Amino acid sequence: MAIAVDLADLPATAHLAQTIAPLLKRGDFIALCGDLGAGKTTFTQYLLAFYGIHQVNSPTFTLHHTYEAELLIHHLDLYRLEREEELLQLGWDELLSDLAVVIVEWMDKFPGLYPREFLQINFFYAFEGRRALLTGRGSLWQDTVACLSLTQLPDKKGDYLCFC
Ligand SMILES: Nc1ncnc2c1ncn2[C@@H]1O[C@H](COP(=O)(O)OP(=O)(O)OP(=O)(O)O)[C@@H](O)[C@H]1O
Ligand SMILES: [Mg+2]
């Protein structure tokens, strides 16, 4: 099951990020997918702001940033990588076993390296803003997304949340 959320403006993205952020725990993985400029870093910035981290730059060129807060959080951007091997050489396996929260932009470039359980968020351009499609992969995230759809993201006049 997936849920779609209209992100008409930045406050809507902030609301989604602030809804997801308190659910995170050590070892969680979030795959952020979508075209250039679709809103992946923006979502991450709002999510990290929830943990008191306000200086978040895109890791497009640096590839990987780590933040220490209540949780250890790795933020990666795989846009510039071309082969799975490059990612493995950078210590992908260690990263996943680090008991940190791992947030990865452009994860869909490397479908062979997804972990077993993760939250996938696909961002799309929609009108002036964006639309996000949330999919739980693995039973834990499937349950979480199902609960989100029931409790955390109430319908606002019928145009905020829909079921896919
Ligand atoms: N919900 C939204 N409504 C309107 N504008 C948005 C929304 N979300 C993000 N933006 C804007 O889109 C622009 C690009 O956002 P962002 O850098 O987050 O995209 P990205 O997916 O990380 O891009 P890249 O693929 O280059 O990493 C920013 O100017 C940001 O303010
Ligand atoms: Mg980005």
For the stretch 110-123, pLDDT in tens is 999 999 999 999 99
Whether 44 is covered by a domain: the verdict is: yes
Nearest to 105 by CA among 33, 28, 47: 33
Whether 164 is covered by a domain: the verdict is: no
If you average pLDDT over residues 82-109, what whole number do you get?
95
Please tell me the predicted confidence (pLDDT) of residue 150. 64
Q: From the alpha carbon of 13, which atom of ligand 1 is closest?
A: 1
Q: What CATH code is carried by the domain that includes residue 111? A: 3.40.50.300
Q: pLDDT tens digits, residue range 132-158?
A: 999 999 999 999 998 887 655 544 444
Please tell me the predicted confidence (pLDDT) of residue 59. 87
Q: 45: Cβ–Cβ under 8 A, 6 or more apart, which residues?
A: 17, 56
If you average pLDDT over residues 76-97, what whole number do you get?
94
- Number of structural domains, the chain? 1
Which sign, positive or negative, has the C-alpha torsion 100, 105, 110, 116? positive
Please tell me the predicted confidence (pLDDT) of residue 153. 55
Pocket test for ligand 1, best of 30, 35, 36, 42 (most atoms within 8 A of CB): 42
Q: Is 10 exposed, middle or buried (0-12, 13-18, 19+ CB in 10 A)?
A: middle
Whether 162 is covered by a domain: the verdict is: no
If you average pLDDT over residues 47-73, what whole number do you get?
93
Whether 158 is covered by a domain: the verdict is: no
Whether 141 is covered by a domain: the verdict is: yes
Please tell me the predicted confidence (pLDDT) of residue 60. 85
How far is 156 from 150, CA to CA, in rounded Å? 13
The fraction of the chain above a pLDDT of 70, given in percent, is: 91
Ligand nearest to the CA of 45: 1
Q: Is the pLDDT of residue 161 over 60?
A: no
Largest distance between two CA atoms of the chain: 49
Please tell me the predicted confidence (pLDDT) of residue 75. 97
Q: From the alpha carbon of 7, which atom of ligand 1 is closest?
A: 1
Whether 147 is covered by a domain: the verdict is: yes
Please tell me the predicted confidence (pLDDT) of residue 151. 59
Other beta carbons within 10 Å of 92:
20
Cα 64 to middle of ligand 1, angstroms: 18
122 lines ligand 1 (CB under 6 A): no
Q: Which amino acid is at 139?
A: S
Whether 138 is covered by a domain: the verdict is: yes
63 lines ligand 1 (CB under 6 A): no
Whether 9 is covered by a domain: the verdict is: yes
Domain carrying residue 33: 2-152
